[in-house]
A and B are shown apart, each in its own frame.
Chain A
Amino acid sequence: DTGVSQDPRHKITKRGQNVTFRCDPISEHNRLYWYRQTLGQGPEFLTYFQNEAQLEKSRLLSDRFSAERPKGSFSTLEIQRTEQGDSAMYLCASSPRTGDTEAFFGQGTRLTVV
């Protein structure tokens, strides 16, 4: 296992299109996080899962965003009707159990909406 894997690494899409990102966490990690990061800012929490259950979704996340983790392993983040303001780095992280352990991050998916 080489760590958290995210696909694609880069995505350029036209405004109004839908995009989907995938995250494969470290094997047997129960917790999975999604973050968004813009230039010069820290990662901004979007949502997280404990196994297949989505425990919390940020108020910043509009209805255009949805995340799933159907079998408690990989996760997908979908953005519908993309807007230019969605352009950012989308980071995924996983940890072995609840919040009091280190979260390991993937390399991120850079989204550019044109």
Chain B
Amino acid sequence: GESVGLHLPTLSVQEGDNSIINCAYSNSASDYFIWYKQESGKGPQFIIDIRSNMDKRQGQRVTVLLNKTVKHLSLQIAATQPGDSAVYFCAETPDKLIFGAGTRLAVHP
């Protein structure tokens, strides 16, 4: 079936470094994508979104890149901080949100 998946289950980075979290999607009909952050015991929290008519979108310290040719999505976090430690999910939607398994980001001082 159609799914959203992630390339790396765990990513460890040093505080201050940049982080890149990758995601592959398979539904070519998806036209809207979201990155969520989830901390332990909490619901997912919106980080940034991007529509299929764009290939890049920037927020505060975060950038999302979309490559529709290879159905790939990435989240870049600049100057990663300990508070960024969490599990990150990409989600896609042509009509309902479908999530992947997530990448755990561990930030070390």
Contacts and interface: CB of A to CB of B under 8 A. Distances in A.
Interface of A: 4, 33, 35, 40-45, 48, 55-56, 91, 93, 98-108
For the complex, would chain A's binding face be called helix, strand, loop or mixed by DSSP majority?
A: loop
Given A42-B100, A48-B96, A106 B31 contact: no
Interface string B84-104: 000001000111111111100
16 contacts: A4-B43, A33-B96, A42-B102, A45-B97, A45-B98, A45-B99, A55-B96, A56-B96, A93-B43, A99-B32, A99-B95, A102-B46, A104-B46, A105-B36, A106-B43, A107-B41
Could you say which of B45, B93, B101 has the most chain A C-beta atoms within 10 Å of its C-beta? B93
Interface of B: 4, 31-32, 34, 36, 41-46, 49, 51, 89, 93-102
Contacts of B102: 40-42
A107 B31 CA distance: 27
A4 B44 CA distance: 12
Among all A-B residue pairs, the 8 with the closest Cβ atoms:
A105-B43, A42-B99, A100-B32, A99-B93, A99-B95, A43-B99, A105-B44, A42-B101
A100 B44 contact: no
Max chain B Cβ within 10 angstroms of own Cβ: one of A33, A93, A105: A105
